[in-house]
Structure 1
């Protein structure tokens, strides 16, 4: 039986913040791993037909993930995520910026705050994204951030379903 899973996506321009809440039909440890393990992230984090490729990832406070979203034609769009706080299985925070292939940041960036909770086998992930610039946030929204995010969540739902059936 399919559950009716919560998905909320709210843009608050005066606060330069995006609020996202999403439920997953999976237990918290698996959802946490899907957000914090490069092998799993690369399987779901890019909207199809794009793919994700992590060059390196050190999931620890002060660590970084350097990855690209790759188009079917091979165009790469690089990003750097710097982990600023980690409370295992409940919260992590990171600073995200676009970058070039040599890791030169394209500022301004955004601060992401992920919160995880579970109730009766359903895990809720709440994400707050504070953008340093309203202009940056508006460009992301215009580029289809909400639609792309929904597509990646569908990828994650499929991955979680395949992992829980094993």
Structure 2
């Protein structure tokens, strides 16, 4: 596995946005699939020791993914994605909202708005992510909850999954 994969994480407080640029040592097709196929997402979309469990996923504009991050003790923390734009193997956008097991919002954090872009770079794939929050307070709260550490951990797990697909 390539050891020096790009990982850039920055917070733009003025625009209430987290920006992540991450390189994966894998083909665009494999990386795209890892982000858009529920069976693959469930293998990595939660920081260890949590596990991801998808209740349903309909990856299309207007579709949704309802999933839980499940703690080792079995506690479930639910979220719902609502897909607003999809350009296959190039970009997709979705909102993400904390909710209950039925998909009803249950947090005062509001939604985040994800804009995820994929591009090939020789033998690797670059994923550019912009995550916008509704307020600076929401952004700061998510950062305090350990978002940077969590997303970094999930990306490292995805590296391992992609390595097995070579």
Q: Output the CA distance in 2 between the equivalents of 1:2 and 1:39.
A: 25
Q: How many residue pairs align between the two structures? A: 164
> Match for residue 51 of structure 1?
51
| Partner of residue 134, structure 1 | 136
Alignment-derived partner of residue 94 in structure 1: 94
Match of 1:16 in 2: 16
The residue that corresponds to 1:33 in the other structure is 33
Residue matched to 2:123: 121
Runs of 4+ in 1 over 4 A off after TM superposition: none
In structure 2, stretches of 5+ residues that fail to align are none
Residue equivalent to 1:161: 163
CA distance in 2, matches of 1:102, 1:44: 22
Partner in structure 2 of residue 6 of structure 1 = 6
**For structure 1, which runs of at least 5 residues remain unmatched after alignment?**
none
Greater CA deviation, 98-107 or 131-140?
98-107
User: Cα distance, 1:3 vs. partner?
Assistant: 4.2
Q: Distance between the aligned counterparts of 1:29 and 1:146, measured in 2?
A: 26
Instruction: Tell me the TM-score normalized by structure 1.
Output: 0.96
Q: Shift in Å at residue 114 of structure 1?
A: 0.3
- Secondary structure of the 2:161 match is helix
- 1:88 & 1:101 partners in 2: Cα distance? 29
CA positional deviation for 1:2: 2.6
Return the TM-score normalized by structure 2: 0.96
CA contact (8 A) 1:3 1:25 kept: no
Report how far residue 20 of structure 1 moved.
0.3
- Structure 2 counterparts to residues 139-158 of structure 1, below 5 A: 139-158=141-160
